[in-house]
Structure 1
Amino acid sequence: MAGRYFDEWQVGDTITHAITRTVTETDNLLMSTLTHNPQPLHLDHEAAKDTEFGKPLVNSCFTFSLIVGVSVGDTTLGTLIANLGYDEVKFPAPVFVGDTLTCETEVLNVRESKSRPTAGIVTWEHRAKNQDGKTVCTFKRSALLKKFDA
């Protein structure tokens, strides 16, 4: 199993995820249209020319979702019962088409489930950086995970 069981996590564990991803125009277009987001800042090169960025920004929902997806193989694949929540989602720098993102995950908290003796809750902070080393997204994720022998 690629993901880790609850018992295998400790506060401070940090993973640098091997998967990196260069964001494409199609990624941005699909996320924006599939979610019915008509924001010109994501879709209209002419409108975006007049912004402080001078070009379209990648839809932040794509950036967030990409980071979650990249982390799954190393964190919860096959061991997840449920994601419990995402907190403190921040986008300190923009993402543009052509940026290559790398991600890392750090364990912030590990605790037994009060209602499920065969499970525990892990809280991570996920961080993504672009090719220039600028942090483009951070957030906390809490998940209910299976215990190894459960």
Structure 2
Amino acid sequence: MSKRVVQKGGLWFEEFEIGTVYEHRPGRTVTETDTVLFTTLTMNPAAIHLDEAFSAQQAPFHARLVNSMFTLATLVGLSVAQLTQGTVVANLGFTEVRFPHPLFHGDTLYAETLVRDKRESETRPGEGVVTLEQTGRNQDGEVVAFAVRQVLVRLRPA
């Protein structure tokens, strides 16, 4: 008797359906360590991320902000297991990125992805371009990040 093997992974190009929304759970609670580590690893010395006394004096938030590039990277990362793990060829780029509300230490980032569009590649047989609209919200439902990106994804092997 043969065993059935199931491996969880991302979606093949054919499995992406325009208009489908994916909610990525669990979310990710952001810590002070995340901000300090990411900010220093990326050589970003902005006081608004690192200096509590300085940030407390800065209107309108009066607090250190989570580095927005960390927010963007985490937004994308939260979607990987469900959408592109093992099927993505490349991240082709972002056409929109916005941060309408800051993320603070202790906030939890939740992500969702809308499949906006898809088309088979004209130059790369066996692959297709999928346009994803990704939204990050904090625990109160406020949008903290929004991005539209295109990914190159493999078609299902024959």
TM range (shorter): over 0.9
Q: Is the 8 A contact 2:126 2:155 kept in 1?
A: yes
Q: Secondary structure at the match of 1:20?
A: strand
| 1:41 and 2:17 are equivalent in the alignment | no
| 1:144 and 2:145 are equivalent in the alignment | no
Q: 1:30: which partner in 2?
A: 37
Q: 1:6: which partner in 2?
A: 13
Supply the AA of the counterpart residue of 1:72: V
C-alpha separation between the residues in 1 aligned to 2:98 and 2:39? 19
Q: 1:18: which partner in 2?
A: 25
Report Cα offsets for 1:52-83 as digits up to 9, x if no partner: 11110010010000011111111110001111
Q: 2:3: which partner in 1?
A: none
Q: Secondary structure at the match of 1:67?
A: helix
Tell which structure's C-alpha radius of gyration is larger.
2
Deviation at 1:149, TM superposition (A): 2.3
Which residue, 97, 113, 135 being the options, matches 1:105? 113
C-alpha separation between the residues in 1 aligned to 2:44 and 2:157? 44
Supply the AA of the counterpart residue of 1:50: Q
Q: Secondary structure at the match of 2:72?
A: helix
Is there any run of 5+ residues in structure 1 with no aligned partner, and where?
Answer: none
TM-score by length of 2: 0.92
Q: Is the 8 A contact 2:87 2:154 kept in 1?
A: yes
Supply the AA of the counterpart residue of 1:117: P
Supply the AA of the counterpart residue of 1:27: D
Deviation at 1:19, TM superposition (A): 2.2
Q: Count the aligned residue pairs.
A: 150
Is there any run of 5+ residues in structure 2 with no aligned partner, and where?
Answer: 1-7
Task: Return structure 1 stretches of 4+ with deviation > 4 angstroms.
Answer: none
Matches within 5 A, 1:67-82: 67-82=75-90
C-alpha separation between the residues in 1 aligned to 2:54 and 2:86? 44
What percent of counterpart residues are identical?
Answer: 46
C-alpha separation between the residues in 2 aligned to 1:64 and 1:98? 17
TM-score by length of 1: 0.97
Which residue, 98, 111, 124 being the options, matches 1:116? 124
Q: 2:69: which partner in 1?
A: 61
- What is the aligned-residue RMSD (CA, Å)? 0.9
Q: 1:132: which partner in 2?
A: 140
C-alpha separation between the residues in 2 aligned to 1:87 and 1:25? 30
